[in-house]
Amino acid sequence: MDFTKYASMLTKQALFFCRIDKLGDQYEMSMPIENIKSSTEYYNNNEEIIKRNLSGITLKEWNSLFDIIKPSVLINSWHRNDYESAAMWSIYLKTNEGIAIQSTYKKLCDSFNLTDDEINIGTVSYKDYQMDRIDDETLFGYASHKLKSYEYERELRAMLTNQTDGSQKPLYEVGKNVPVVLDTLVECVYVAPNAQKWYGELVIDLTKRLGYNFPIKMSSLNDRSLH
């Protein structure tokens, strides 16, 4: 993340969950061809019941239900790896001025004890949407799959669902901040490769001024220690 997002996380003591339809991937929660086939077959076999219960929904609308409810799904994303990824630094930072948060699955789970939101956490599976099918045909299941083209992300997602006002209208324009215990969550903070020394010192200063004592290190791709 960049410095402003880091500062926001510290001051708000929260992780930002973004609407899944705002992540920039038009295929989020889309249906592989094999799932469309089975969904179409189910609709054709139960057309009268489905139309009666869902206000005359058409086959096209039936197969696009997840597109309709996308805005009600909020995502907070992490990269799973034993090592830093040069590609992830490059993709997610526009400049050399950024940081990465290191945590663990358990720490992430434990950090959410300040919220009443029901948060689902799981890894993303990557599929060939021309050949493969998604077996978990639920809201959570479709939100946990992406195209194989994104496999390099090795993504783990924390998810909030059903974020609507009771109708189809989403509650949030972009997303929401969910409170977390940062001292539980953060194992280490890494300053981006090739960042200037003053930038690393700025990250340290802000962190300490806001009362946190996370270990802060230069990226291992740089291999210089800040303190």
| pLDDT for residue 150 is more than 60 | yes
- In this prediction, residue 83 carries a pLDDT of 87
Please state the rounded mean pLDDT for residues 185-201: 94
| pLDDT for residue 223 is more than 70 | no
Question: Which token pair is 80?
Answer: 């799973």
- In this prediction, residue 222 carries a pLDDT of 72
Alpha carbon distance 110, 178 (integer Å)? 13
Helix (H, G, I), strand (E, B) or coil at 73: coil
| pLDDT for residue 194 is more than 90 | no
- In this prediction, residue 167 carries a pLDDT of 72
| pLDDT for residue 161 is more than 70 | yes
| pLDDT for residue 226 is more than 60 | no
Domain ranges in the chain are 3-218
- In this prediction, residue 224 carries a pLDDT of 54
What is the residue-wise DSSP string for 149-216? GGGGG-EEEEEE---BSSSSSBS-SSEEEEE--HHHH-SEEEEPTT--HHHHHHHHHHHHHTT----E
pTM: 0.91
- In this prediction, residue 227 carries a pLDDT of 47
Place of tokens 């280490």: 188
- Mean pLDDT across the chain, nearest whole number? 93
Of the candidates 197, 220, 223, which has an alpha carbon nearest to the alpha carbon of residue 86? 220
One-letter amino acid for residue 105 of the chain: Y
Helix (H, G, I), strand (E, B) or coil at 126: strand
Report the 10 Å Cβ neighbour count for 49.
9
Please state the rounded mean pLDDT for residues 59-80: 93
Summarised one tens digit per residue, pLDDT across range 52-67 is: 999 999 999 999 988 8
Summarised one tens digit per residue, pLDDT across range 167-183 is: 778 999 999 999 999 99
| pLDDT for residue 87 is more than 90 | no
**What Rg value do the Cα atoms of the chain yield, rounded?**
20
- In this prediction, residue 168 carries a pLDDT of 73
78: CB partners within 8 A, 6+ apart:
103, 108, 155, 156, 157, 158
